[in-house]
Amino acid sequence: MPRNTPTPDAVFPIRLKQARLRSGLTQEQLGIQAGIDEFSASARINQYEKGKHAPSVQTSQRLARALLVPTGFLYEDDDVLANLLAIAGRLSKEKKKALLASAEKLAQA
């Protein structure tokens, strides 16, 4: 990783909060939608967003599904790539294929 690039542990809290705020969910709502017990949902999401604890891979996947983002978004340290992932995650399969074809053309140019 280049210098000054946050580690995945440092990126996850930032991306989680970004996606949660973008979705308009409270910490409690997100936790509940991700299958966390309603009595601890808010506290657990708060700890994840503060970087005090890291969720398991399975919990990360459930959080991503609840936030309608690819799991990779939560760990991507490049802001531009993270935003591309978030946008691509909301596209239909056909539009994802079109985006991929366009990206491949750009990469060849």
pLDDT tens-place string over residues 61-102: 999 999 999 999 999 999 999 999 999 999 999 999 999 999
pLDDT tens digits along 18-60: 999 999 999 999 999 999 999 999 999 999 999 999 999 999 9
Which pLDDT belongs to residue 6? 64
12 is a domain residue:
yes
The pLDDT of residue 3 is above 60: no
1 is a domain residue:
no
Under 8 Å between Cβ of 45 and 36? yes
**How many structural domains is the chain composed of?**
1
- Burial-class residue 37 by CB neighbours within 10 Å (0-12, 13-18, 19+): exposed
24 is a domain residue:
yes
94 is a domain residue:
yes
49 is a domain residue:
yes
77 is a domain residue:
yes
Question: Residue 13's domain spans which residues?
Answer: 8-108
Which pLDDT belongs to residue 1? 44
In this structure, what CATH number is given to the domain that contains residue 94?
Answer: 1.10.260.40
The pLDDT of residue 7 is above 90: no
2 is a domain residue:
no
3 is a domain residue:
no
